[in-house]
Homo-oligomer: A and B are copies of this chain.
Amino acid sequence: MTFSFGQIFRIQLFGESHGECVGVVVEGYPPGLDVTKEEIQMELDRRRPGNSKLASSRRELDRVRIHSGVLEGKATGAPITMTIANRDVDSSWYNMTKHIMRPGHADYTARVKYKGHNDHRGGGTFSGRMTAGLVMAGSLAKRVLREEKIEVLAHTVQIGEVGVSSEIRNEWIRKRVYSNPVRCANMNSASEMGREIVKASQDGDSVGGIVECRVAGVPEGLGEPFFDSIESVISHAMFSIPGVKGIEFGSGFDSASMKGSEHNDSAKIVNGEVVWIKNDAGGILGGITNGAEVTFKIAFKPTPTISKPQNTIDMQQMREIKLRAKGRHDPCIVPRAVPVVECLAAIVMADFLQRAK
A233 contact set on B, CB distance < 8 A: 236
Q: CB within 8 Å of B: which residues of A?
A: 1-5, 7, 10, 12-16, 19-21, 23, 25, 27, 31-32, 67-69, 71, 74-81, 83, 101, 103-106, 108-110, 112-119, 124-126, 130, 158, 160-161, 200, 203, 205-210, 220-221, 223-229, 231-233, 235-237, 239-240, 242, 244-253, 255-269, 272, 274, 277, 280-282, 284-290, 299-306, 308, 310-313, 318-320, 357
Q: Give CA–CA (A116, B304) in the complex, Å.
A: 50
Minimum-distance CB pairs A-B, first 9: A106-B286, A246-B248, A206-B260, A104-B264, A109-B288, A103-B264, A78-B125, A77-B114, A231-B239
Residues on B with beta carbons closer than 8 Å to the beta carbon of A258: 207-208, 301-302
How close is A328's CB to chain B, nearest CB, in angstroms? Answer: 15
- Chain B residues contacting A268 (CB-CB under 8 Å) are 311, 313, 320
Measured in the bound complex, the distance between the Cα atoms of B105 and A260 in whole Å is: 11
For the residues of A in contact with B, the DSSP-based class is: mixed
User: What's the Cα separation between A266 and B102 when bound, in Å?
Assistant: 9
A200 cross-chain contacts in B, Cβ below 8 A: 259-260
Asked, given contacts A236-B235, A290-B108, whether A300 binds B256 with beta carbons under 8 Å apart, the answer is yes
Which residue of B68, B245, B248 contacts A20 across the interface (Cβ within 8 Å)? B68
Cβ contact of A114, chosen from B15, B76, B229, cutoff 8 A = B76
* CB-contact partner of A220 in B112, B114, B260, under 8 A: B112
The answer to whether A103 and B236 touch across the interface, beta carbons within 8 angstroms, is no
Name the one of B14, B116, B224, B305 contacting A79, with C-beta atoms under 8 angstroms: B14
Task: Give the contacting residue for A255; candidates B1, B27, B80, B301; CB below 8 A.
Answer: B301
